[in-house]
Structure 1
Amino acid sequence: MKKPLNPLEIFLHPGDYYFAGRDTRISTVVGSCIAMTFWHPQLLVGGMCHYMLPKRSYEHNKTASARDGLYASGAVALLLEEIGFIGTSYKEYQVKLFGGGNMFPVAHKRINAMNRIGARNVQAARQLVQQHGFSCVGEHLGGIGHRSVSFEVWSGKVQVKHANILLVDELKPLDRRLG
């Protein structure tokens, strides 16, 4: 399908999700967070979630809703509920994963990789894909820095701009010679 003349532009913040029809573009920026897109290629509908953390802390479990978009399983549950409302099976959707970047590479040199929130978010995303049997057709995960993610529901295309964090140690000295 061609790009709509005036697509609806939706921007997701951490914990947000959105499910829409073909005249919509959904965007977000993720660092250590994860954005997951779900797209139905025949119906040209889809959605995106933006979760911050792989799971709730023990204390938060006692009072929080099971469908909190800030956490991996809750964010996916919210999108699966939207998919259910239109009467399709989630197995008909193509899923793509983005994010899980290391936002503090200097500090994390001293920390075990599994303690890094980005790495734990990537692990949670991959576990959810396996647990639900999603058809994961693409991913851009890990590394250093953040990503701008833009999902065109009318085509299923996702544009990603990855911005690496430049460490001060990696700066080259300035050549101050004039000529």
Structure 2
Amino acid sequence: MTIALSLPQTRKFVLNPGELLFSQEPVQVQTLLGSCVAITLWHPQHKLGGMCHYLLPDRQRFHRPERHPHGYFGSDVFHSFLEHIAKARLSPSEFEAKIFGGGNVILWPDRHRFNINVAEANIRFGQQRLREAGFAVKAEDVGGERYRQVVFEMNSGSVWVKYGRCG
């Protein structure tokens, strides 16, 4: 005898650069990172969390920042995350945080002549803001010279990373 089970399909979302998702839905969220950074937050008891994909660290440091959407900067992302957490009447310290990305994937010969290494600035900014806000950083996979595809399971808090080479 064969028994066929009908399992609910997990909804899948692709998070594009500059986007943020915060939800209690059991969704799978994925994104592709180069020098950008993704942060996942997950509350184990409430099965609530989010993921972001920011391109630059702080809106205040860039010329004409109004030309970029809200999630483009890490500073905006942290503001949104903290608003969602406050609305849920929870504390950042109750969440498991994971940080990914910041790969030096732009390998042009004279890359060191510029004043800022975007990948390193994104990493430093994310790590510092997570500490300052009181998040428990459970894992990080940052730096190097590779792309990362990050997949976040909102029902379990699990994150998988698949690596790609540049050049």
TM-score of the pair, normalised by structure 2: 0.86
Counterparts of 1:29 and 1:18, CA distance in 2: 15
The change in CA–CA distance for 1:58 and 1:163 in structure 2 (over 3 A counts) is closer
1:164 to 2:140 alignment: no
Tell me what 1:89 maps to.
91
Residue 153 of structure 1, CA deviation: 0.8
Q: Match of 2:125, SS?
A: helix
Q: Match of 2:52, SS?
A: strand
Equivalent residues of 2:74, 2:125 under 8 A apart: yes
TM-score of the pair, normalised by structure 1: 0.81
| Structure 2 residue runs without a partner (length 5+) | 1-6
Tell me what 1:171 maps to.
none
Tell me what 1:27 maps to.
30
Amino acid at match of 2:76: G
Pair member with larger Rg: 1
Q: Deviations over 1:75-105 (max 9, x none)?
A: 1111221222222112110000000001123
Q: Match of 1:105, SS?
A: coil
Residue 22 of structure 1, CA deviation: 4.5
For residues 1-179 of structure 1, what are the structure 2 equivalents within 5 Å?
Answer: 5-56=8-59, 57-60=61-64, 63=66, 68-107=70-109, 110-111=111-112, 115-166=116-167
The change in CA–CA distance for 1:97 and 1:58 in structure 2 (over 3 A counts) is closer
| Structure 1 residue runs without a partner (length 5+) | 167-179
Counterparts of 2:109 and 2:140, CA distance in 1: 26
Residue 152 of structure 1, CA deviation: 0.3
Residue 112 of structure 1, CA deviation: 6.0
Residue 164 of structure 1, CA deviation: 2.1
Counterparts of 1:55 and 1:124, CA distance in 2: 8
Q: Deviations over 1:104-150 (max 9, x none)?
A: 23435x50697221111111111112221211010000001210000
Tell me what 2:4 maps to.
none
Amino acid at match of 1:31: G
The change in CA–CA distance for 1:96 and 1:114 in structure 2 (over 3 A counts) is farther
Counterparts of 1:78 and 1:153, CA distance in 2: 18
Task: Supply the RMSD in Å over aligned alpha carbons.
Answer: 2.2
Tell me the percent identity. Answer: 33
Amino acid at match of 1:39: W
Counterparts of 1:107 and 1:20, CA distance in 2: 42
Equivalent residues of 2:34, 2:103 under 8 A apart: yes
> Which consecutive segments of 4 or more residues in structure 1 shift more than 3 A?
none
Tell me what 1:176 maps to.
none
* Residue-pair matches, total: 160
